[in-house]
Structure 1
Amino acid sequence: MAKAYEFLANGFEDIEALAPVDILRRSGVEVKTVSIGDSIEVESAHGVTVKADMLFADADFADADLLLIPGGMPGAKNIDEHEGVRHAVMRQAEAGRLVGAICAGPMVLGHLGLLRGRRATCYPGFEDQLEGAEYTAALCTVDGNIITGKGPGASFEYGYTLVTLLKGERVAEALKKGMMYEG
């Protein structure tokens, strides 16, 4: 079974974090949400409190097929400043395993140098944080093992793209049909 972890920090964007988790879980991917703070409860940018599945201190990402960084501010900034997350993302990317980031989240990848020579998208206004990337402005961009999403409105497209990469096109198409997604 494919396994994914999503980092949650106070100030994360609700739909960019939760829609992909929902879509991935519906497809049979085991997803664990990981609070990077001291509390299992994490507050979104819009004041919604979410109970993460685990604390960062208790996580081991060695079995991760996918690591996810949602957007939202200051959530993405909080993730960007977390050395443990940065280290985990670098290890994941260097191993050739999937790393996804949406909205402001791709700035973490840009700051780590993971976007140099790659195509990527992000929330408009964060393009200068994608160090060395070719900005696509697409809803979702895949370049090798790096998947980036543009923003809240891209959350479904981003989620289905992740399913396609982990479970195949047939699973993603069946899921779209079952969820009445026509995008």
Structure 2
Amino acid sequence: MTTGITGRTAPRDLDASILLVDDMEDNLVALEAVLAALQVPLVRAESGEEAMKALLRQDFAVVLLDVLMPGMNGFETASHIKRLDQTKDIPIIFLTGAETANDPGYAFRGYATGAVDYLTKPFDPWVLRTKVAVFLELHRKNRQLQELLDDEQHRLDEFARRLADVERQLAEDTETAALAGSIAELADALHELRGEDR
């Protein structure tokens, strides 16, 4: 499933998407063919500017970024990605043609701008798919961890609210029986938060 930046894009809460950035149609088609087996949405951008627009509209698990593009090249695009709080943690895999493959300065510059990997075209499809799959799995695990943390925070917030209710009852000199019942409920909640059986 592929969407261009002018087409319908996936919602922000989607589990994972991959951004493909290349100014050459043939390269985008090749990337789509290689990554189709991963069965996640693939979003195209044909320039650094289009890539930035896509990144601001939805979440991505990984960006595959061509180095040499007219206008905003891959290095400049990566620098913009890493400067924004919303996008700075998205892994970038640089893809470069044979004309720059033997120049160590390109690889150094790629890693210096925040790339996690640097592959030369033509690349081994299996290697690229495997590397991308690792970042998809990391993205999924991070989302699961964030959901667990959010759930735990919700439980702690609820506990704090209930504790505040008890403190308010104490301040208002509420009857002892009602206070005792509230304290018992709080004790149960505390044991539940700790995962303990009573």
TM-score, structure 2 as length reference? 0.44
Larger CA Rg, structure 1 vs 2: 2
TM-score, structure 1 as length reference? 0.47
Q: Name whichever structure is richer in helix by fraction.
A: 2
Higher relative contact order (CA 8 A, sep 6+): 1
